[in-house]
Amino acid sequence: MNTDTPILIAYDGSPDARAAIDHAAGLMPGAHAVILYARQPLESVAAHLDGHPALEELEQFDAATDDAAARIATEGAKHARDAGLRAEPRVSSTMSTASEAIVDAADELDASLIVIGSRGRRGVRATLLGSTSASVLHHASRPILVIPSAQVARARRTTTE
């Protein structure tokens, strides 16, 4: 693997996302990694409130979430560096879905690999909440490594035993 071409690791601050970083670092020690937090701004809500007094409050809240997004991405990059990757944080702030933001960022970076954790939602929860990892799998044009959550991996091992 070319260590100059970055891998893109989707990161949301969850234990599953940290586990995905750890797995990637174990498989590709020293790799260049971009740790992406896909933030969805409140602009779509704000568009419906044009001229409403609450709009200013939403804009202040949106600025605060932007700061939080930067902190989450920075924390993920630090975790990745501690795990042995050459990592840098990145925040995507777009009106698109998280999965679209991940695919777009990977394309922009010409990432050699997308790494993403999976919570293993099923049934109604998966239908209502969607699956970011499944959507990335269906829309990306580059290799993807999906790391199942520890809970999902345990359940799958138990089922096969």
State which residues form the domain around 95: 7-160
What is the model's pLDDT at position 124? 47
100: CB partners within 8 A, 6+ apart: 94, 135, 139
Q: What stretches in the chain show pLDDT beneath 70?
A: 1-3, 41-65, 120-130, 152-153, 156, 160-161
Residue 1 lies in a domain: no
Residue 106 to residue 99: CA distance in whole angstroms: 11
pLDDT at 127: 41
Global confidence as pTM: 0.79
In degrees and rounded to multiples of 5, residue 27 shows phi and psi of -80, -30
pLDDT at site 61: 58
Is residue 2, in this structure, part of any structural domain at all? no
Q: What is the pLDDT of residue 41?
A: 59
* Structural domain includes residue 12: yes
CATH of the domain at 45: 3.40.50.620
**pLDDT for position 50:** 59
